[in-house]
A and B are shown apart, each in its own frame.
Chain A
Amino acid sequence: MFDFLDSGQYDLLGAFWVTVQLTLYSAVGSLIWGTVLAGMRVSPVPLLRGFGTAYVNLVRNTPLTLLIIGCSLGLNQTMGVTLGGGTFKETGFRLAVLGLIAYTGTFVCEALRSGINTVPVGQAEAARALGLSFTQVLTLIVLPQAWRAVVAPLANVLIALTKNTTVAAAIGVAEAALLMKEMVENEADALFAVFGIFALGFCLLTLPTGLLLGWVAKRVAVKR
């Protein structure tokens, strides 16, 4: 049933490694971008608030496939954006990370905003009374407490992101889902075995993530 694995024709580990890389780059990028967005959405400047709200609502409700293919067809093929990638392989990877960051950042932002709401108003008021600026209140007082409250929801976002990387196959990034497409094309007699392998592969990536971050969430949560 799994004979085709022994032929050495498929680089399973290599494909999943690309999936892991996509996930890591996008995770770091979307944490930063999501924090910036959350800062915008709670800032006292109406223009920033408006931009943040509009961006989050627009991008969050756009299908990811549309965003990623838009990155490839719109940015790359029509406007010639390569993000410094020489070949389609490099460019595709970078465009996929860009699309994933743009999309996942909105979810990180919303999770953080809910975390900001767990911080009692008195904390910010006390900080203001001490004469701290908005930026200082946010970065020194509110965000550190908010972060600790949202580890569990962010773990969900990270797991969703791991699975969302499969969409990058649509623009030819050589990750797990692309290898699966190739295997489905070639191994017509073992379709379920192919699905099984990839289902297992993603479970091996996401289950430990969920367990580990669940434990971290318990450890760091603010006991109020």
Chain B
Amino acid sequence: MKVLKVGAAAATAVVLALTATACGGGSKDSASDAGASGGGKSDKIVIGIKFDQPGLGLKTPDGKYTGFDVDVATYVAKELGYQPDQIEWKQAVSAERENLISNGDVKFIAATYSINDKRKAKVDFAGPYFLAHQDLLVRTDDSSITKVEDLNKKKLCSVTGSTSAQNVKKDLAKDADLQELPGYSECLTGLENKAVDALTTDDSILAGYAAQEKNKGKFKLVGLKMSNENYGIGLKKGDKELQTKINAALRKMVSDGSWEAAVKKNLGPADYKNEPAPQITEGS
């Protein structure tokens, strides 16, 4: 393993050097923009969200942004003193979330971002603001899956490399026939054609798909709580001030009823029984 590590370290250095030269421009531009707006507080806030998850963070064809994460981010931004028209949405693909934050490309990220220790080594979180569980989406007329053990004889589909897919392979159902595809929409094709029996990932994401107009009545959630995913808002490591402000905004969102309304609006149509708002555990 020693040789492998030395070689990998060298390759890493090359990768770093290349990315440093390739992406050097981004942060400088935003700095000069902030200067151009007359110093002081810049009049825009950049927030990272998902663009491709209905019910959570979706960019609609006409260029609007909808979903629960979007509503939470909009509320938090308002509490930080930004109106909706001052928000610039940026796509935060799962693999790039940490780098977007640490490079300063976004102020914070609300994109089904589960809090875990490895991620906390790179970024800080506020929240959690939502508790999701890994679950299954099946065809409405299919009632053959009632417990986790039933999965071993089933065909499952999930997104390539995702935590949900790894959970299935490593502990939940080692014998299940798992297909990994690039996105959840591709899995839905298979589920509709009966090529697979179930689609597995966080129940919030599944609810978002099931609630879509074109999928109404076709699919249902099974309701197996196979894992706990605490969604947090990712922000720059060590920015205690922002963390405290966002936590306060999240508490206010829950207490004034906006949180419940946002869940119902975005995920309600799928008959999804969401967990109550979780206790804030990150920061203060």
Contacts and interface: CB of A to CB of B under 8 A. Distances in A.
B136 to A, nearest CB: 16
Interface in B1-32: 1, 4-5, 7-16, 19
Interface residues of B, number: 43
Interface of A: 1-2, 5-6, 69, 72-73, 76-78, 80, 87-89, 92, 169-172, 178, 180-182, 184-189, 191-193, 195-197, 199-200, 203-204
B98 A88 contact: no
Interface-central residue, B5, B122, B155, B178, by most chain A CB under 10 Å: B5
Given A76-B195, A172-B160, A186 B12 contact: no
A5 B5 contact: yes
Contacts of B118: 186-189
B269 interface: no
Nearest to A179: B161
Given A185-B166, A189-B119, A189-B122, A197 B181 contact: no
B162 interface: yes
A191 B181 contact: no
21 contacts: A72-B186, A80-B195, A88-B177, A170-B181, A172-B160, A182-B165, A184-B161, A185-B94, A185-B162, A186-B118, A187-B118, A188-B122, A189-B121, A192-B16, A195-B15, A196-B12, A197-B4, A197-B11, A200-B4, A200-B7, A200-B8
A99 to B, nearest CB: 14
Interface of B: 1, 4-5, 7-16, 19, 94-95, 97-99, 116, 118-119, 121-122, 155, 160-163, 165-166, 177-182, 186, 189-190, 193, 195-196
B16 A2 contact: no
Given A184-B161, A188-B118, 4 more contacts: A2-B9, A169-B160, A172-B181, A184-B95
Top 4 nearest A-B pairs (CB, nearest first) are A181-B161, A196-B12, A172-B180, A189-B121
Contacts of A72: 181, 186
A135 to B, nearest CB: 43
Contacts of B165: 182
B11 A73 contact: no
A69 B15 contact: no
B195 A69 contact: no
Nearest to A13: B4
Contacts of A80: 195
A189 B119 CA distance: 6
B15 A196 contact: yes
Interface-central residue, A169, A188, A203, by most chain B CB under 10 Å: A188
Contacts of A169: 160-161
A77 B10 CA distance: 42
A192 B193 contact: no
Contacts of A204: 7
Contacts of B95: 181, 184-185, 191
A171 B177 CA distance: 14
B8 A77 contact: no
A2 B5 contact: yes
A196 B180 CA distance: 24
A22 B14 CA distance: 27
Contacts of A182: 161, 165-166
Interface-central residue, B9, B14, B179, B186, by most chain A CB under 10 Å: B179
Contact of A6 (B1, B19, B179, B181): B1
B273 to A, nearest CB: 27
Nearest to A196: B12
B155 A88 contact: yes
B189 A200 contact: no
A172 B179 contact: yes
A195 B166 contact: no
A5 B4 CA distance: 10
B15 A199 contact: yes
Contacts of B7: 200, 204
A199 B11 contact: yes
Contacts of B166: 182, 185-186
A77 B5 contact: no
Contacts of A195: 11-12, 15
A199 B5 contact: no
A92 B157 CA distance: 13
A172 B11 contact: no
Nearest to B119: A188
